[in-house]
């Protein structure tokens, strides 16, 4: 699958460069590199696991030539986390997105993207390649849109509920999805409705237990966003249904949602977020993982160079059909200091509690020091960040 990913990325990059408009000089190019190090008493969240030093290196690059509607760009993210190999294997998360857009007259735009990603932790390995096309058309205050996506995924998960190992082979599956919808906008307020349909097909036909996991997904979505007196609000409601033509798994129905609120007041900013979404899984007797997450964060800016944040989080993973749940709760504190010239120093501390079906709850903590550098790589005098 890696060869396919490389060839697809090269083809998409060549297509973007071939359609470049020489007269377009707008460019935005921002890179961020960082290093965090410290100690985690139990990064796996498993009873009896040892504490370990932790070192995380990360780098991102966001590049845009022209505009999102008429230009090309890329988003690159690389994260590597290293532990004492006697305690836990290293983890990584890499992703690259190539983007290309061009206008179809004054009211329409076509956007293309190709994304390759790879992630690995002690309990999950996933690689994917997705190609997405999106068409937008404006009619006064209304916006019509339609998109199509094709994705190939290789997924392998450890059964953490019985402390099992990875599967002998990855589960490989393809996804074809279509979305269409409309939205109305007035000032800072937008409200819209969309409908998505997707088909998921497993390449090997049956899983390691002999079950057919192929299924279809239907998902209408009502979304809303606005800004009111400095406060930013986003929300969506989405009845989700997945059904299995072979009847080897029960249909999955759930109300998915997102809710976000950012409320600034003088030197304070309150961020609240809540979501329910679905993820694929390879655990036995389960095809869909229902993920619910809540977060509250209060940031106090002491002065122009110093800020401190307090946060509380909870995340649950419900593996439908397996009757198993992973429940993670945590609180944290984060201090940031602006060192100048794009350098930011951080000190973070966190406490977590992990409870999984059939296992003893585990509490853990971590303490980290970090340093981050932001670099503006745009050409002098030609960077227009408002188009990024």
**Could you state, in order of their start, the residue ranges of all structural domains in the chain?**
2-134+160-169+256-387
Statement: the pTM of the whole predicted model exceeds 0.85: yes
pLDDT of 386 > 70? The answer is no
Q: Tell me, what's the pLDDT at 1?
A: 53
Among candidate residues 77, 89, 94, the one with its CA nearest the CA of residue 43: 89
User: What are the tens digits of pLDDT across the range 7-64?
Assistant: 445 445 444 444 444 434 689 999 999 999 999 999 988 888 889 999 999 999 999 9
Residue 297 has pLDDT above 90, yes or no: yes
Q: What percent of the chain has pLDDT over 70?
A: 91
DSSP string, 108-155: EEEEEEEEEEEEE-SSEEEEEEEEEEEEEEEETTEEEEEEEEEEEEEE
The answer to whether residues 59 and 34 touch, using CB atoms and an 8 Å cutoff, is: yes
Per-residue confidence (pLDDT) for residue 105, from 0 to 100: 85
What was the pLDDT predicted at 25?
63
Q: What is the mean pLDDT of residues 76-102?
A: 95
Q: For the chain, give the percent of residues with pLDDT over 90.
A: 81
Mean pLDDT value across residues 211-215: 96
Query: What does the pLDDT read at residue 140?
Result: 92
What whole-number distance in Å separates Cα of residue 289 and Cα of residue 69?
35
- Nearest by Cα to 387 from 95, 91, 94, 30: 30
What is the average pLDDT score of the chain? 91
* Torsion region of 386: left, alpha or beta (phi above 0 gives left; psi -120 to 50 gives alpha): alpha
Is the backbone of residue 247 left (phi > 0), alpha (psi -120 to 50) or beta? left
User: Has residue 180 got a pLDDT over 50?
Assistant: yes
Q: Report pLDDT digits (tens) over 122-159.
A: 999 999 999 999 999 999 999 999 999 999 999 999 98
Cβ–Cβ < 8 Å for 165, 184: no
Joined together, the tokens standing for residue 349 give 């501390």
- For residues 98 and 358, the model is more confident at 98
What pLDDT, in 10s, does the model give residues 362-385? 999 999 999 999 999 876 434 333
């Amino acid at each position: 699958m890696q060869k396919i990913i490389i060839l697809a990325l090269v083809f998409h990059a060549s297509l973007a460069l071939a359609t470049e408009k020489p007269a377009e000089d707008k460019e935005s190019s921002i890179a961020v590199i960082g290093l965090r190090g410290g100690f985690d008493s139990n990064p796996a969240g498993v009873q009896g696991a040892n504490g370990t030093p932790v070192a995380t290196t990360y780098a991102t690059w966001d590049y845009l030539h022209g505009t999102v509607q008429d230009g090309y760009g890329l988003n690159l993210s690389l994260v590597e986390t290293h532990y004492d190999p006697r305690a836990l294997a290293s983890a990584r998360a890499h992703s690259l997105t190539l983007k290309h857009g061009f206008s179809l007259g004054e009211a329409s735009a076509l956007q293309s993207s190709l994304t390759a990603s790879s992630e690995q932790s002690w309990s999950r390995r996933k690689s994917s390649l997705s190609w997405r096309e999106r068409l937008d058309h404006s009619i006064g205050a209304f916006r019509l849109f339609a998109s199509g996506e094709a994705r190939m995924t290789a997924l392998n998960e450890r059964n953490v509920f019985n402390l099992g190992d990875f599967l002998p082979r990855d589960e490989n599956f393809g996804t074809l999805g279509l979305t269409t919808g409309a939205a109305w906008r007035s000032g800072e307020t937008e409200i819209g409705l969309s409908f998505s349909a997707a088909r998921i097909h497993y390449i090997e036909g049956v899983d390691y237990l002999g079950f057919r996991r192929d299924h279809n997904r239907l998902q209408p979505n009502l979304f809303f966003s606005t800004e009111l007196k400095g406060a930013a609000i986003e929300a969506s409601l989405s009845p989700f249904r997945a059904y299995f033509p072979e009847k080897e798994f029960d249909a999955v129905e759930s109300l998915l949602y997102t809710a976000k609120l950012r409320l600034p007041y003088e030197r304070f900013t309150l961020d609240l977020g809540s979501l329910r979404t679905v993820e694929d899984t390879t655990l036995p007797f389960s095809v869909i993982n229902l993920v619910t997450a809540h977060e509250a964060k209060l940031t106090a800016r002491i002065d122009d160079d110093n800020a401190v944040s307090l946060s509380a989080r909870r995340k649950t993973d419900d593996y439908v059909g397996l009757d198993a749940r992973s429940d993670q709760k945590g609180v944290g504190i984060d201090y940031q200091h602006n060192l100048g010239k794009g350098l930011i120093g951080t000190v973070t501390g966190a406490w977590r509690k992990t409870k999984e079906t059939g296992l003893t709850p585990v509490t853990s903590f971590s303490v980290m020091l970090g340093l981050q550098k932001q670099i503006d790589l745009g050409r002098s005098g030609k960077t227009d960040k408002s188009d990024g």
